[in-house]
Chain A
Amino acid sequence: MPRLIVALRVLLAAVFCFAAYTKLRQPWLVFAMSVDAYRLLPAWAVFGVARTLPWLELAIGLLLLSGLWSKYAAAGATVLLVLFWLAMLRAWTAGAGINCACFGVGEAVSALTLARDAALLACSAVLTFLLWSPNTRLLRASRLAA
């Protein structure tokens, strides 16, 4: 169980840090245009999301990697991945030819990106469940006591 938790934490940390890096290395307005293409938010909210989301992803990635507040970081990752997945699903079913903006530009929303996001969401949900589960906490406590 602890090995699975570490593996999931490292996997999700790598994904979130890479996603943040690809967004932060380009002008934030380029990412703003990708967010805007989803047609879900008014302009002021698009600017707010484009300014903050990459930093939030980076924070979640670093927290998962370090193990600090990993319970909350995992829950945050799950919430974000649910939101991303729903936005992508909406764009895909509407036939909007937009970039998913998951890892910078150039990748269209497709069945493949939806499947990849769903797999990451499953990993994040499992990690969140394990970290919040009383059994895991008891197991940790008993190890610490030993």
Chain B
Amino acid sequence: MTKATALLIFAALAAAPGGYSAAGKALGNPKAPVRIDLYSDFQCPSCKVFHDGTFGPLVAKYVMTGKVYLRQHEYPLPMHAHAREAACLACAADKCGRYWQVCDALFQTQDSWAKDGKVAAAACSVLTPIEAAQVQALARTPAILDAVNDDIRSGQTEQVNGTPTMIITKLMRRYPVAGPVSFPVLSRFLDSLIESQ
């Protein structure tokens, strides 16, 4: 997702009429016919591919139009040394209402902080100095660690075994989908799901 697309989406969500919101780590109308629970790891290259290529169009075409309710979950994989820190910083940014901006910044600069470990600098690059100080302090609190652990436990319950994983739900039917699915293919599936009774 480019910065311009991200800004457009955030602005549109903010201006959208009732029901559509960027509340915490969820986007869209909770009463939308389809729900997507997205389990993601900020240090995972496939998650970056998904974020850069699929996430933006997904939000623009389905979330902003009230067809899909999207909820993001942290799922830092043990093999990624800085993933948990990144997840904590993003969850801390959520407390300041800046989750999606930090999320975008972390994916945009993944190559660099994954190598040098300067995760906080990458996450805070889109925050004001006051927000940055708040986020860095919050990221170390037990409440934030618990929030990340809750997401991980939720993923384990859903039998998530890689990232990104989407659990796509319509009524009682659930479809787990792992990997960086491209937008044209995901879009065709979502259209068929939305049209089905």
Contacts and interface: CB of A to CB of B under 8 A. Distances in A.
Interface of A: 26-27, 29-30, 32-34, 36-39, 43, 46-47, 94-99, 105-108
Contacts of B45: 94-96
A97 B185 contact: no
Interface of B: 44-46, 49, 77, 159, 161-165, 175-182, 184-186, 188-189, 192
Contacts of B159: 106
B185 A98 contact: no
B177 A43 contact: no
A33 B180 CA distance: 9
Secondary structure type dominating chain B contacts: mixed
Given A43-B184, A106-B159, A108-B162, A97 B189 contact: no
Contacts of A32: 185, 188-189
23 contacts: A27-B192, A29-B188, A29-B189, A32-B189, A34-B177, A34-B178, A34-B179, A36-B179, A36-B182, A36-B185, A37-B177, A43-B185, A47-B185, A95-B44, A96-B180, A97-B164, A98-B46, A98-B180, A99-B161, A99-B178, A99-B179, A105-B175, A107-B161
A30 B177 contact: yes
Contacts of A36: 179, 181-182, 185
A105 B181 contact: no
B100 to A, nearest CB: 22
A98 B179 contact: yes
Nearest to A39: B180
Contact of A97 (B163, B182, B186): B163
B181 A33 contact: yes
A7 to B, nearest CB: 32
Nearest to B176: A105
A98 B163 CA distance: 7
Given A27-B192, A33-B186, A33-B189, A97 B181 contact: no
A112 to B, nearest CB: 12
A38 B179 contact: yes
A34 B45 CA distance: 17
A98 B46 CA distance: 9
Contacts of A38: 179
Contacts of A29: 185, 188-189, 192
Contact of B178 (A27, A43, A47, A97): A97
A98 B185 CA distance: 15
A88 B192 CA distance: 28
Contacts of B188: 29, 32, 47
Given A33-B179, A36-B179, A96-B45, 4 more contacts: A27-B189, A36-B181, A43-B184, A97-B77
Contacts of B185: 29, 32-33, 36, 43, 46-47
A108 B161 contact: yes
B176 to A, nearest CB: 6
